[in-house]
Structure 1
């Protein structure tokens, strides 16, 4: 075999030289492959860093956002950066359940007007899946809609639902100028952004609702109190401070029993039992106790408080002060009873006037004339019992003696007066005319029905005198039937006591000659 000068066979030498270039070529391929993989890994790492940075910034901006506009803006930034698009939009359901644009990037007014209201889902579709259209021209959407989308220069898009806790809040959309194959990673990114955005919108709505609720609670005139199932107070609004007199810091953590009088302690366990059963207690009227120990009448509404899992963890109480309402109702009842009493008295007095007049009248004409005159006098005396507030003009000043004479004028026996008034005559303030007239009218009415004015010969002696810091009116009946104490206290007696308490006090004695009534008026009342 021929050999080379180096002593190597020529054929072997040829193979050797040929082998060297082949090994060098393989090394270059390996180097290119390694460099390519290194570049891909570096690109993947850079992409991951970019995405993580974008998502972190998105989360931070959502946390700091104070308005829904700020939420939309940072969401659109995150959508465009993570999904590599220049156009995007956010749509929400309006009150009528129609999907409307609320924020967008790179969309014309005409396009938004043309597709506004279009949505593949309804509000109740909480489990809606995202929709990715890689090529709009090949989609199954209506032809007119496809032409509108392509006319906007959009050839690929995605619908990403925004799910809330109970229903679908809306969607966001991404748009691309060319057909696009969406990777699994892009789908995952889109869902991640959607979850963050949906949560932020729900939190904002919840915060806004909570702020409105807090404002309502804080500004309410009613006492609004929250307690746990052990009866310990967990919240206390300004209305409760005004009603019960305790400051918020005094009551938090305290038992609600602090507000309940001893004779009402049995109510609280019953209320808690009903609350644990999920029952709502409506307009329960009861009595509670203020910080100073005074009772207050309230109307109570109690509702269960539930946590996020729907479990009952406490109760809210709304207490409304009904003291004024009860006083108004009592006053109304008093007025109704008084009206009924006075109407009955009018009929009794009219009957008595007719009977007394009939004993002395000689002709029907005389009877009719005398009865009419006495009824007219009775009407004028009755007008004196009307409140001066109800008068069309300021009443003229009056003194005690003329007032007594006017009230007893209907009980004259012909030309003979049936009352004698002696003693001091003092001016009567307009604020006391009603009260004094009511009392004197009540005394006269009882005398006409049961006492001295029920007979022709009966008389009433009235003595007025000053005594230290008091003014005393003594009413003595003479010449009537034997006086007797009533078996029970009627409305007339209660009316007398209630009216007299506004002036001073009243007492009644059944003397053998006739009833004696002493009305004591405090002097400072007469000077008011």
Structure 2
């Protein structure tokens, strides 16, 4: 009885039993080799083939032998990669060749197949998720017309093997993903343990799931199961911290809060916390992850610095008061409205206004716009238009600018465009990235009556040119025009305000 005839004498019961055995073996397969072995046994048993093979697409999309029976190495090398389908094909159907000699295949391929003792072949696609992932082959030595029953059996075997390959690949992907998660968690824990800051993770109820070594040491925690971090918050800070965390959860935003926490030795330390909600794949709240930084020394230093600044502000105000008192005694014999008295008091007031602005910013910097508005009659004179981008001035620059603007404004009111109600002034500035200039200031007067050019240089113009020029390393141009003074200051030196 030939191999092709052996199929014909099988009963439906035998075929059913063989398919059940294949299903059972594929279900219990622990590796791909087990899948291949079960498939080749079923092909040989149910289709009566002594020779068969299984081929799968590799990562480059090439069809490669992965398991075989009864095929020589030279034959496998010669036909390796040959396939009627491409990766991802979804409408693949089996191909059965009764006699290779009767096909239109290339002569070299026909000779290769015949030299291996093969005449009839079956190409049965292996499908996973609806796409071709490979094929299995049946080989018969004599011409053979494949019956519908044989075709159905071949498709049934391919379907079972395809399901098994799909399950195995899904299991591989799941195992790889789990391995990546384990490696990621391991990297996180190793990084977290050695980090120079306190790192924590809490679940959706606020219970700590993870505290790194630095934070465990801070709180003296050994058993996370019985630890409640909220009990370590200073009573005066508890409400604010809890509300900040709850707001972060509600708004799905980061929380940034400072508070006092009790350390394991019983002392309170100021911790700055930055935390954010952690959401699951469905968008549900899973908990919080955050870091704590001990800023106790920094807070104490800031407090001490603020005390020193307050003392400085107090001394400056006292000094200005003393200067004002001395001035009053000095000018005692002069009338209150005497120009020299008014000029001195105005300059002293401008100096005090600049100091007040700096005091409000802890003597770090002052806004150029604020300095300008305080220097032109407290922003009450609507005839002065002020415009320009945000610019922060260092303390010495702010004081010098305030004094210069006071002189410009006073001069405009007494002699320039503001001596009449219809006149006006534009004070503007602009910044650039050019290395030879970073700030340009412009004071432009627009009078309705001709403004006489001064016959002598006074204190104001001298102070403006020398003080601004020195403080900003600037070019100062004073242009006295009939409509009023045009003063341009091109600053080359940018002194960065203290951080």
User: Max radius of gyration: which structure?
Assistant: 1
Confirm or deny a common fold (TM above 0.5).
no
Using the size of structure 1 for normalisation, the TM-score is 0.42
